[in-house]
Structure 1
Amino acid sequence: MTVRTRFAPSPTGLLHIGGVRTALFSWAYARKHAGTFVLRIEDTDLERSTPESVKAILDGMHWVELDYDEGPFYQMQRMDRYKEVIQQMLAAGTAYYCYCSKEELEAMRAEQEARGEKPRYDRRWRPQAGKTLPAIPADVKPVVRFLNPIEGVVAWDDQVKGRIEISNNELDDLIIARPDGTPTYNFCVVVDDWDMKITHVIRGDDHVNNTPRQINIFKALGATLPQFGHLPMIHNDQGQKLSKRRDAVSVVDYDQAGFLPEALLNYLARLGWGHGDDEFFTMAQFVEWFDLKDVSPSPSRFDREKLLWLNAQHIKVADAARLAARVAQFLAEKGVDTAGGPALTGVCALLKDRSQTLVEMADQAEYFYRPLTPSAEVVEKHLTADDLTRLAAFAAGAAALATWDQPTLGQFIKDFVKEQGVKMPLVGMPVRAKVLGTTHTPSVDAVLALLGREEVLKRLAA
């Protein structure tokens, strides 16, 4: 059997990180088993689906680099196929027309609630041997309902949650086509998974209640059942389900906050899955290690501090030129022109070990391209009259250096400290404050070397 998995988001908003984790696990399972990963856009919710959301999903998948082998497929382009299958089911007797009006359904629900019963369709239009159906009303367009089994149970061995059994008498004869003929979600999903030969449906456990209905439709169609694996929800630090209104949940948010996509995937992989004590790993390692049996059925809690730590680890090993390309965008948003300063790749290489995000790296990189104004506290502490006198002598010595590189500057600073008879902070801190406007920088010799002789001497003289 060739493993085929799918990610099937609805384009009703931005790509959610819970969706990214689902896509990641589906992608990894396919890659682990040399299978196929399919992207499907479930866009039948015409009121809420938008082209902007479709673009956001595709852009988000591109940013996290979860490459799909087939697709994207769009459900709205498959309407003829759904209608064809519905006609086949009507002919086979596994579906039927229901002519209940909206008012009848509301009255049915009210009566059941008054009796303390669970509201459900009473199957009055369900065909049965010896049953006389009501007269077909002339003014009602029918829906098509699935003839769900009444007896027995629906059972499956969930790849994450274990054995699950649902009694058929708990399930309704769900609507599979609306009065205007458009098919409904649970039906479209089954036909799609059947046609696309999906072998493993890996999705959030908010779909568990849909699964028994879908299994019964699979069986009615004579289709091979896929295996199901339902992933636990992701909760915020208050233990609540992640909310688009309350939490940063879109991958766009994390891109704009300066996270690397591999760091986000690394973190999401650890939400509900683990490989011993390994925290920091590549996607190649994740694919090698991944197995659905290692996914916990319990909800996971999102920890931003852990994500920041992982992001810092990935920044440290990332290519400096790649980091510079994104940092340049953040600097441009701050109105910083990098054209007249040191190569941004070199700056990022220097800052890699001290940045948790690329936004933080851009903030630190700013002083390489324009001096910052030191705070009153920094001026009072590090730019006293004695400090300024010492800085003038420092500038004169620096101007006379034969070469301008980090080793030469490092030795010059050591010699200058010794000559002045002071400790290193009494030279390093004032130099940082005067040249950069802040005392929080990498080593002074490295920063001065990158800035260049002309710019350093200009700032010292300002």
Structure 2
Amino acid sequence: MSSRPVRTRFAPSPTGLLHIGGVRTALFSWAHARKHGGTFVLRIEDTDLERSTPESVAAILDGMHWVGLDYDEGPFYQMQRMARYKTVIGQMLDSGHAYYCYCSREELDAMRAEAEARGEKPRYDRRWRPEEGKTLPAVPADVQPVVRFRTPIDGAVTWDDAVKGRIEIGNVELDDLIIARPDGTPTYNFCVVVDDVDMQISHVIRGDDHVNNTPRQIHMYQALGAEVPVFAHLPMIHNDQGQKMSKRRDAVSVVDYDTQGYLPEALLNYLARLGWGHGDDEFFTLEQFVEWFDLKDVSPSPSRFDRDKLLWLNAQHIKAADPARLAERVAAFLADKGVATADGPQLADVCALLKDRSQTLVEMADQAEYFYRPLNPTAEVVEKHLQPEDEERLKLFAEGAAALPQWDAATLSAFIKDFVKQQGVKMPQVGMPLRAKVCGITNTPSVDAVLALIGRDEVLRRLAA
């Protein structure tokens, strides 16, 4: 493990929305920095000019803000560091760690075809690589060269991955990587190394789809005389079919979970459990996660995304949340439904009543609607609970309720019990018609608490309707 001060980074490419795999990578990088009193850096790798968009950058920043993963430095943008990359490329050319390659597209295609015909892995034949005693081809006048990194030919690259253990890849498997295109723009693997060196990144925590990039990057760290960071490659997240999660098949964007009514702490809690664990603990806070987190506890095996488990965790976090905070988000969902809350009960009080019954904030908003406007009961509810005898009983109930000295849950509870006794019926014969008439539905919290929140005037108005 590195003895340097801990500095981690999250480095997404702005080619789409921030997805849950990226959020888990950011979460583990953030937690490792927080656990060790280190620094968490956000870097936007925007050199893919064809696919990178300002909208995607905004989505990444908004997504990081929503989940609450605060970064200490950044965001840094690779496109703003082009001068630095070109300086380092020049230094590599001067030191002999890189060289110009003038192969045309046709020559590279021919190399590939010949290798495939021999049953070999297609690769560049290093014809422009300078070697002692080697005569290079004449420089063509009509080819703009690329710059290639001079990869060692013999030996192997070995590193102790903090998640996967010891990994060794022979240099014979590696090509002389292009680090600058014909127009001079640098390539991904090169930019990553220069950024990590300049930003003094001590731990590179990323998805295991980057394992194949690591040996090439290690060579470049060494060529620059820089300390190689600790690598930790996280396993993939699979969907419930055991397949790698896809943007086309699965709800993978953070925005999706926000609009579906999930709490960010619930999503982070769930993502933390995908590939990491602390005993049998399932429900925990972000503070507990930081306290418990250790890279050695991350599993190298892929994890399977279980939406039912996420939904359960979301319900637990809703139960634990401050009602005033829930109300801020539920108000937006109600506004989307055209429901105004200004003239009704305090939404925080409604959320406090409903939070033990809601798995998502969307579900909570649906349940909260009848506190602000009566719903039309279905024909089935009318048939079962609002027959003429029920309506007559509710008229008598309204007369007694109008005369109550005060309007609160305790007073209403006592009144309802006395009324049921006077009518010689069972509680559901009063409670269910009350819910149907006042709320429009029969599945509500305790009817006395519901009536207390809706308020005397509004309850009596609805009973008289």
Q: Spell out, residue by residue over 1:157-207, the C-alpha distance to the aligned partner (whole angstroms, 9 max, x if none).
A: 000000000000000001000000000000000000000000000000000
Find out whether 1:295 has 2:298 as its counterpart.
Answer: yes
Unpaired segments ≥5 residues, structure 1? none
* Equivalent residue, structure 2, for 1:271: 274
Aligned residue pair count: 462
Q: Spell out, residue by residue over 1:320-344, the C-alpha distance to the aligned partner (whole angstroms, 9 max, x if none).
A: 1111011000000001111111111
Find out whether 1:362 has 2:362 as its counterpart.
Answer: no
* Equivalent residue, structure 2, for 1:332: 335
The equivalences for 1:30-429 within 5 A come to 30-429=33-432
Query: Shift of residue 384 of structure 1?
Result: 1.1
1:208 is paired with a residue of what secondary structure?
helix
Share of identical aligned residues, percent? 83
Give runs of ≥4 in structure 1 deviating > 4 Å. none
Give distance in 2, aligned partners of 1:433 and 1:27.
Answer: 49
Q: Spell out, residue by residue over 1:41-97, the C-alpha distance to the aligned partner (whole angstroms, 9 max, x if none).
A: 000000000000000000000000100000000000000100000000000000000
Query: Shift of residue 405 of structure 1?
Result: 0.6
State the superposition RMSD in angstroms. Answer: 0.5
Q: Which amino acid aligns with 2:174?
A: L
Query: Shift of residue 114 of structure 1?
Result: 1.2
Query: Shift of residue 267 of structure 1?
Result: 0.4
Query: Shift of residue 400 of structure 1?
Result: 1.1
* Equivalent residue, structure 2, for 1:431: 434
Q: How does the TM-score come out when normalised to structure 2?
A: 0.99
1:86 is paired with a residue of what secondary structure?
helix
Give distance in 2, aligned partners of 1:136 and 1:143.
Answer: 13
2:185 is paired with a residue of what secondary structure?
coil
Q: How does the TM-score come out when normalised to structure 1?
A: 1.00
Q: Which amino acid aligns with 2:276?
A: W
Give distance in 2, aligned partners of 1:164 and 1:415.
Answer: 76
Q: Spell out, residue by residue over 1:102-140, the C-alpha distance to the aligned partner (whole angstroms, 9 max, x if none).
A: 111111111111111110111110111111111000000
Q: Which amino acid aligns with 1:279?
A: E
2:452 is paired with a residue of what secondary structure?
helix
Give distance in 1, aligned partners of 2:419 and 2:310.
Answer: 42
1:413 is paired with a residue of what secondary structure?
helix
Give distance in 2, aligned partners of 1:117 and 1:38.
Answer: 41
Q: Which amino acid aligns with 2:121?
A: K
Give distance in 2, aligned partners of 1:290 and 1:108.
Answer: 48
* Equivalent residue, structure 1, for 2:458: 455
1:331 is paired with a residue of what secondary structure?
helix
Give distance in 1, aligned partners of 2:96 and 2:334.
Answer: 65
Q: Which of 21, 24, 27 is residue 21 of structure 1 equivalent to?
A: 24
Give distance in 2, aligned partners of 1:161 and 1:257.
Answer: 34
Query: Shift of residue 396 of structure 1?
Result: 0.9
2:64 is paired with a residue of what secondary structure?
helix
Find out whether 1:445 has 2:424 as its counterpart.
Answer: no
Give distance in 2, aligned partners of 1:17 and 1:269.
Answer: 11
